A and B are shown apart, each in its own frame.
Chain A
């Protein structure tokens, strides 16, 4: 578990890294309190969920000048990292839209897991993966990866004082993988783990 102050500091450290900035991460501060990290990823995909190109979700910057081919659509993933007041850890929130229409839980999971046979267990209970909830800063509804066991997991990888590690970067290196977000190695300083 980390404190809100440490979360905020850790977020600022994370986005101060040049490679992180290149990925499009932004640190957002909302009037009246509340901070979060945000990155928007876009990729073209065929309407019939042929998402081979984005199965690893290594997105290319969307080129607004590119003409959309009739049988492709743009999936836009809106990822946020916010602080969970109860579990006292960062948690990952996301939304996905295709041509402006919001995707539901099943569709998001399908898009994320397409082509990854061994990525999710066959009998996946989708609720244990993605949950609906209120964005703690924006107050609007997002899907999120449930943070109830995050603190336990982080304890298994480091016995260092949490205040002294790049918490957000270390945490994202675990949780980001599930949704195709990769953490630049340069954002985690080895000596600090």
Chain B
């Protein structure tokens, strides 16, 4: 690979980090207890961020229109499906918004929290810890060791989190230097995200470095999902429809999320008989 290629690759990563999703948030109509109907809430959220970071402002926007008000009972839904906030917003968008309409219209609920399907999120620290735990899982797959994350100072944890929330790639990369592990990389953390029976599945498919270097996106999917028609399935990574010829290692370098996982989203999945 030449120098220009490397520069171009880091530029792809930079562009991906700039990605944000326009959201239109409505409240479920049967939860409104006031005579007036609230205006929808509009916001831009970075692809790498997480839905509960909006909790406070969404709550403030709708507070006067609902009666019961439990802090932890706020949750989001899209066309009847619960949004699993532990996944980055960009991944949720890629797998749920199959019509590609913008802004992405979702609904907020303050009642009937689906305890079985998603984690409660009482405060932003719940999101930070969920993120750090996913990062730990990725590091463990990569190096069989999570000590570098455990040793990360409170300041660095905050800096890391702020970087994700506010789209600051440079800050993220600087902090990443602090928890870089030694040793050879064992497995690449890859997840395939798809919808099955109205529920989003998030399947772990770690791959060794050798395998990653040998595979393209298409050959990899063919291998792990042999009963799927990969050619006709919609494959989306970080909001982009990459060519199935894309080398998998390039995709990992350029398109992994800040939790170090590469999320490959499949929609309109066609099953072969």
Contact = CB atoms under 8 A, between A and B. Distances in A.
B116 A86 contact: no
Interface string A73-115: 0000000000001110000000000000010100000000000
B146 A86 contact: no
A57 to B, nearest CB: 23
Contact of A146 (B115, B122, B133, B206): B133
Interface string B128-140: 0110010011001
A119 to B, nearest CB: 22
A78 B191 CA distance: 29
Contacts, number: 36
Contacts of B206: 86
Interface residues of B, number: 21
A148 B125 CA distance: 19
Band of interface residues on A: 10 to 19
Contacts of B130: 132
A47 interface: no
B141 interface: yes
Interface centre among A87, A104, A132 (most CB of B within 10 A): A132
B120 interface: yes
A49 interface: no
Q: Is the interface of A mostly helix, strand, loop or mixed?
A: loop
B136 A148 contact: yes
B133 A104 contact: no
A131 interface: yes
A65 B130 CA distance: 42
Given A86-B206, A149-B150, 18 more contacts: A86-B140, A86-B204, A102-B115, A104-B72, A104-B120, A131-B129, A132-B119, A132-B130, A133-B119, A133-B133, A141-B116, A141-B118, A141-B119, A146-B133, A148-B136, A148-B140, A148-B146, A148-B150
Interface of B: 72, 115-120, 122, 125-126, 129-130, 133, 136-137, 140-141, 146, 150, 204, 206
Interface of A: 85-87, 102, 104, 127, 131-133, 140-141, 146, 148-149
